[in-house]
Chains A and B, each alone.
Chain A
Amino acid sequence: MSKVYRKITQIVGNVIAVEADHVLYNELAEVSGAAGKSLAQVIRMKDRKVYLQVFAGSSGISTEDEVRFLGHEMQISGSEDLLGRIFNGCGEPRDGRSPITDDMINIGGPSVNPSRRTIPRKMIRTGIPMIDVFNTLVESQKLPIFSVAGEPYNPLLARIALQAEVDVIILGGMGLKYDDYLYFRNTLEQAGALSRVVMFIHTAADPVVECLMVPDMALAVAESYALGGKRVLVLLSDMTNFADALKEIAITMEQIPANRGYPGDLYSQLASRYEKAVDFERAGSITILTATTMPGDDITHPIPDNTGYITEGQFYLRRGRIEPFGSLSRLKQNVNGDTRRDHRAIMDAMIRLYAEFKNTCEKQSMGFAMSEWDNKLLSYGGQFESKLMDLSVNIPLEKALDLGWRILADCFRPEEVGIKTEIIKEFWPETRK
């Protein structure tokens, strides 16, 4: 017994207002008229006036259009039949096959009780030294790739997804370029992974509001799989488009913007998505990797800034490399104590020296004479960049650590690298110097 109303009193941006009774906050509605049908969601109620954001956009909506309230929130099927399927931002099939309606679950469900979470302790091996050695990725981690347009962040996401040993990959595309969508699809297909992938794709050509649902749908499905014991990796690209859609709705609703037009609850909005990353005791896990393009390569922009405070680290992708500065995996300590005894020592020492190398580069570029120490650093920095930082390098962690020692021994004397004598004695390669 759905309620139908025909009195649309306001159309502003992608938000309409209708006079209605017995409506529930956050409920879904269907708006239909000459311009077609679209889903809409209740975002504010005041007396009899109900405001709805229209997913397909307000263009063509008439004041006489029919608004039918569905009596429930946005739902998605949590069934395993979703594997191998592709959906749009409203959860409708994009692959021309039939819709799936069994096992419907609400999206954006409650958060996990912190007392039931466990400390993540399983390393995800990627074969990328800048990740495995310096910023180890851990199962159930939430981590964005901070980048700018033009950088290969989507290929990097795809590569990590394929190299990580997970049961299910869920891809949420927001404002994804059509080419990028095809790239993901083809890459996953070629790797024979499509049967364990679910895609929610909102492309740049689709109505903006539609992308708001993508993270919640992807994560609701992930949660349902993880509770069933699956290790799920969720890829979301690009979270900046999601945040921009939030901004658009907030401005339309005349909310007071906090920073550069973004709503004051941007942090909470992003956090409620990222915090879905979890390792369930005696069940599966959700790991979240996202791409966040930084407008103007500005790390202090509200989107990367708020994201950085929420996520458990970040990878900076710049000039095709994962930058050692700024990149961070907050969970690495949970796993890098159990890999190899020298892991932490190498990790810290090499970055500290690389920082000194950067200072030397600055000096060099100003034309100063290079001291003996400067020359050592220059040789070190060059080797570090070509042998470890280059993204084409694909070696297991242990090989990468050995390589690290070789580079150090090639450039420095043992007391120059700032590592505990005890570790030096055990690992310093004998053959050189």
Chain B
Amino acid sequence: MSEKQGKIVGVSGNMLTVEFSAAVSQNEVAYVLVGKEKLKCEVIRVRGNRADLQIFESANGIGIGDTVEFTGQRLSVELGPGLLKSIYDGLQNPLVLLAEKSGFFLERGLYLNALDRESRWDFTPIAKAGDKVVAGDRIGSVPEGMFTHYIMAPFALRGEWTLRSVAPAGEYRVTDAVAECVNEDGETKSITMLQEWPVKVPIPDYAEKMLPHETLITGTRSIDTFFPVARGGTFCTPGPFGAGKTVLQHGLSQNAEVDIVVIAACGERAGEVVEILRTFPHLEDPRTGRTLMDRSIIICNTSSMPVAAREASIYTAVTVAEYYRQMGLHTLLLADSTSRWAQALREMSGRLGEIPGEEAFPAYLESRVAAFYERAGLVRLRSGEIGSVTIGGAVSPAGGNFEEPVTQATLKVVGCFLGLSRRRSDARRYPAIDPLDSWSKYTSLVDAKELEAARAILARGDEVSKMMRVIGEDGTTVDDFLVYLKSEFLDYVYLQQNTFDDVDCAVSRDRQDFVFKQVLEVLKSYFEFTEKSQAHSYFMQLRQLFMDWNYIRMDDPEFARQQENIRAKIGEALRHV
């Protein structure tokens, strides 16, 4: 069927070398024919009449001389209604359907349509015959769960086209034509609900990209108050293993106030994805009353799945996120972990024999990382609506050392750095976001001055604690000791949060604002103590009251009562001026 063919002349790991005769283009998709199997690959280098291809499968059993068919298409994803609630691998194969076909194991060379061809969608036209359209313009809409899913003119459309016909309202399959258009040259095209887009190219159809200004509430106090993330912004969570990156990302995926969450489980443990797969369909999204799965799309290419597909998975995920942004929705892409993606680049670069950069990562690592995060953004669409893609990437630095290339390349391009520390996780201080190292360029939900005051206490407290280690508690003044106690108090009752408690796991904007003010009152108070042990035991009691307070729902009358107890406790020890 395909005109362009080639022959295998070399195999090394997941890299194939192919001799070809007709023209071949960079990043073109090809298939190797091995017996009855057709295995997907992508061209990554061309030299003379030989091309190097990365194969998205295991290369076992491929022989010299095997036939390769080139498709002429770049690696693309299918976009259209039905993406929500789906679970895909890195190449957008629907995993649940794969399991129906091949059982427990992933069968090599089995590729299925990402979007179901049989389901029918309730189409309502927006445009009418005679309208002029350009790429990305809305033709109609279909309801997809709780969202209005706009059917748009293909993003790949060039120039202005005139709609010749638009289908009447009714039920259609994704491959049915819902409109037909014609351009000046008389060329005609039919438009379906399904369109394809090459994953490595950002979807460009919006009016302008704006500065991210609005705090994205994640429900995690130390993020929203201290190191906020903005809608349309970027953040990264580097941390050594066991510091709680994944637990933090799971929390964000459940509680972040966005419309749609795209989870890219990239080269990490399968078990972590399974938790999402199995729990999300049953967890309620408190803001919509629907299940969390109704707003989620999961792309998972876990660590034992083919490496080249891992490289693609990040792009697949961000393309899907951009697609929903085009509908005026706020999407959040959580990628765990970008280091595994970078390692996939490194593996391929090594096979290609490229001159290595630091720690053998390729020289283009930084530009690739930057280009990925730059696909985030708050945009004004041509319709005037606002949509956003927020990107949060977990980074798994080798040896927990933030100096390594992937962390450094990431820090240069993100707007918020949530550094997880082993010291905090060892001491079970969760989330282990280090309050002294982390930073954010976005605006917090609390007043900047008050935030500064709280940060100063943390910094001072840390100094005192270090000093005490040198000169001992005895050599410390009561005032310094109080600063230390206050910083520990702030850490315990505000920065730390219990993910496993139904109330404490996610805290609303209002509650954060309210509780922070109460915490601040303690921090700003002058307490009357002569003995350090007295101060220590007082703060322990105060801490206990606040901790119990954190576990009480805000609409429970007990909440106000507990605040009374806290106020009374504070009053006990105030210095009388």
Kindly identify which residue among B106, B360, B399, B543 contacts A305, using a CB–CB cutoff of 8 Å.
B399
Contact sample, A vs B, 16 pairs, CB 8 Å cutoff? A25-B60, A45-B64, A47-B64, A112-B270, A114-B95, A256-B350, A258-B346, A264-B346, A265-B13, A265-B350, A271-B303, A305-B399, A326-B242, A330-B271, A355-B426, A363-B472
Q: Contacts A21-B64, A24-B61, A257-B360; is A114 near B547 (CB within 8 Å)?
A: no
Chain B contact residues, CB within 8 Å of chain A: 9-13, 17, 58-65, 87, 95-96, 98-99, 102-108, 240-242, 267-271, 273-275, 277-279, 300, 302-305, 307, 337, 340, 343, 346-347, 350-351, 353, 356, 359-360, 396, 398-401, 422, 426-429, 468-470, 472-474, 492, 500, 532-533, 536-537, 540-541, 543-544, 547-548, 551
Chain A residue contacts of B537, Cβ below 8 A: 416
Q: Contacts A275-B304, A313-B242; is A45 near B10 (CB within 8 Å)?
A: yes
Q: Contacts A259-B360, A275-B302, A337-B500; is A116 near B103 (CB within 8 Å)?
A: yes
Give the docked Cα–Cα distance between A257 and B104 (Å). 35
For window 337-362 of chain A, which residues contact chain B by CB distance below 8 Å? 337, 344, 348, 351-352, 355, 359, 362
Is B62 within 8 A of A24, CB to CB? yes
Is A331 within 8 A of B473, CB to CB? no
For window 257-313 of chain A, which residues contact chain B by CB distance below 8 Å? 257-259, 263-265, 267-268, 271-272, 275-276, 280, 299-302, 305-306, 308-310, 312-313
Nearest Cβ distance between residue A140 and chain B, in whole angstroms? 8
Is A371 within 8 A of B533, CB to CB? yes
Give the docked Cα–Cα distance between A362 and B543 (Å). 25
Q: Which residue of A lies closest to B94 (CB)?
A: A115
Is A47 within 8 A of B544, CB to CB? no
Q: Contacts A46-B10, A313-B242, A418-B547; is A255 near B427 (CB within 8 Å)?
A: no
Kindly identify which residue among B275, B350, B473, B500 contacts A344, using a CB–CB cutoff of 8 Å.
B500
Nearest Cβ distance between residue A317 and chain B, in whole angstroms? 16
Nearest Cβ distance between residue B325 and chain A, in whole angstroms? 26
Give the docked Cα–Cα distance between A111 and B98 (Å). 13
Nearest Cβ distance between residue A253 and chain B, in whole angstroms? 8
Give the docked Cα–Cα distance between A339 and B209 (Å). 52
Is B400 within 8 A of A265, CB to CB? no
Is B401 within 8 A of A300, CB to CB? yes
Nearest Cβ distance between residue A366 and chain B, in whole angstroms? 7
Give the docked Cα–Cα distance between A326 and B241 (Å). 9
Kindly identify which residue among B273, B347, B472, B473 contacts A265, using a CB–CB cutoff of 8 Å.
B347
Nearest Cβ distance between residue A186 and chain B, in whole angstroms? 35
Is B541 within 8 A of A415, CB to CB? yes
Is A25 within 8 A of B347, CB to CB? no
The reply on A227 being an interface residue by CB < 8 A is yes
For window 181-230 of chain A, which residues contact chain B by CB distance below 8 Å? 227
Is B340 within 8 A of A44, CB to CB? no
The reply on A333 being an interface residue by CB < 8 A is yes
Instruction: Flag the segment in A8-16, A117-125, A163-171, A232-240 that touches B.
Output: A117-125
Is B11 within 8 A of A44, CB to CB? yes
Chain B residue contacts of A372, Cβ below 8 A: 533
Give the number of residues in A that approach B within 8 Å (Cβ atoms): 80
Q: Which residue of A lies closest to B246 (CB)?
A: A330
Give the docked Cα–Cα distance between A118 and B544 (Å). 38
Q: How many inter-chain residue pairs (CB < 8 Å) link A and B?
A: 222
Give the docked Cα–Cα distance between A16 and B43 (Å). 29
- Specify which of B59, B63, B65 lies most central, judged by the most chain A CB atoms within 10 Å of its CB: B63
Is A73 within 8 A of B547, CB to CB? no
Sample of 13 further A-B pairs with CB below 8 A, known A114-B300, A348-B428 = A25-B61, A46-B9, A47-B9, A119-B278, A258-B346, A259-B398, A267-B267, A272-B303, A299-B399, A313-B242, A371-B533, A416-B540, A418-B544
Give the docked Cα–Cα distance between A227 and B400 (Å). 37
Q: Contacts A113-B102, A114-B300; is A373 near B347 (CB within 8 Å)?
A: no
The reply on A48 being an interface residue by CB < 8 A is yes
Nearest Cβ distance between residue B358 and chain A, in whole angstroms? 10
Q: Contacts A264-B350, A271-B303, A363-B472; is A23 near B274 (CB within 8 Å)?
A: no
Cβ-closest 3 pairs across A and B: A300-B399, A368-B472, A271-B303
Chain A residue contacts of B429, Cβ below 8 A: 352
Give the docked Cα–Cα distance between A275 and B267 (Å). 11
Is B500 within 8 A of A255, CB to CB? no
The reply on A328 being an interface residue by CB < 8 A is yes
Chain A residue contacts of B428, Cβ below 8 A: 348, 351-352, 355
Give the docked Cα–Cα distance between A119 and B269 (Å). 13
The reply on A34 being an interface residue by CB < 8 A is no
Nearest Cβ distance between residue B426 and chain A, in whole angstroms? 4
Kindly identify which residue among B11, B303, B548 contacts A268, using a CB–CB cutoff of 8 Å.
B303
Is B102 within 8 A of A300, CB to CB? no
- Specify which of A45, A309, A331 lies most central, judged by the most chain B CB atoms within 10 Å of its CB: A309
Give the docked Cα–Cα distance between A301 and B467 (Å). 32
Kindly identify which residue among A45, A299, A301, A420 contacts B547, using a CB–CB cutoff of 8 Å.
A420
Is A114 within 8 A of B242, CB to CB? no
Is A227 within 8 A of B64, CB to CB? no
The reply on A26 being an interface residue by CB < 8 A is yes
Nearest Cβ distance between residue A360 and chain B, in whole angstroms? 10
Is A112 within 8 A of B104, CB to CB? yes
Give the docked Cα–Cα distance between A27 and B59 (Å). 11
The reply on A96 being an interface residue by CB < 8 A is no
Q: Which residue of A lies closest to B355 (CB)?
A: A256
Is A369 within 8 A of B472, CB to CB? yes
Give the docked Cα–Cα distance between A45 and B59 (Å). 11
Is B543 within 8 A of A26, CB to CB? no
Give the docked Cα–Cα distance between A261 and B532 (Å). 53
Q: Which residue of B lies closest to A350 (CB)?
A: B428
Give the docked Cα–Cα distance between A334 and B351 (Å). 40
Is A280 within 8 A of B270, CB to CB? no
Q: Which residue of A lies closest to B352 (CB)?
A: A256
Give the docked Cα–Cα distance between A268 and B254 (Å). 29
Nearest Cβ distance between residue B53 and chain A, in whole angstroms? 14
Give the docked Cα–Cα distance between A226 and B396 (Å). 32
Is B547 within 8 A of A310, CB to CB? no
Is B359 within 8 A of A24, CB to CB? no
Q: Which residue of B lies closest to A20 (CB)?
A: B64
Kindly identify which residue among B63, B99, B302, B427 contacts A111, using a CB–CB cutoff of 8 Å.
B302
Chain B residue contacts of A308, Cβ below 8 A: 240-242
Give the docked Cα–Cα distance between A27 and B277 (Å). 37
Chain B residue contacts of A348, Cβ below 8 A: 428
Is B536 within 8 A of A24, CB to CB? no
Q: Contacts A25-B63, A310-B303; is A362 near B469 (CB within 8 Å)?
A: yes
Nearest Cβ distance between residue B492 and chain A, in whole angstroms? 7
Is B350 within 8 A of A255, CB to CB? yes
Nearest Cβ distance between residue A141 and chain B, in whole angstroms? 8
Give the docked Cα–Cα distance between A101 and B43 (Å). 41
- Specify which of B62, B270, B337, B400 lies most central, judged by the most chain A CB atoms within 10 Å of its CB: B270
Chain A residue contacts of B267, Cβ below 8 A: 267-268, 271
Chain B residue contacts of A331, Cβ below 8 A: 271
Q: Contacts A259-B360, A362-B469; is A115 near B87 (CB within 8 Å)?
A: yes
Q: Contacts A275-B270, A333-B500; is A300 near B469 (CB within 8 Å)?
A: no
Chain A residue contacts of B104, Cβ below 8 A: 112-113, 116, 227, 280
Is A268 within 8 A of B347, CB to CB? yes
Chain B residue contacts of A268, Cβ below 8 A: 267, 303-304, 307, 343, 347
Kindly identify which residue among A21, A110, A119, A352 contacts B275, using a CB–CB cutoff of 8 Å.
A119
Is A111 within 8 A of B106, CB to CB? yes
Give the docked Cα–Cα distance between A115 and B105 (Å). 10
- Specify which of A22, A116, A257, A326 lies most central, judged by the most chain B CB atoms within 10 Å of its CB: A116
Chain A residue contacts of B105, Cβ below 8 A: 109-113
Q: Provide the A85-118 mask, 1 if CB < 8 A to any CB of B, else 0.
A: 0000000000000000000000001111111111
Q: Provide the A111-148 mask, 1 if CB < 8 A to any CB of B, else 0.
A: 11111111110000000000000000000000000000
Nearest Cβ distance between residue B86 and chain A, in whole angstroms? 10
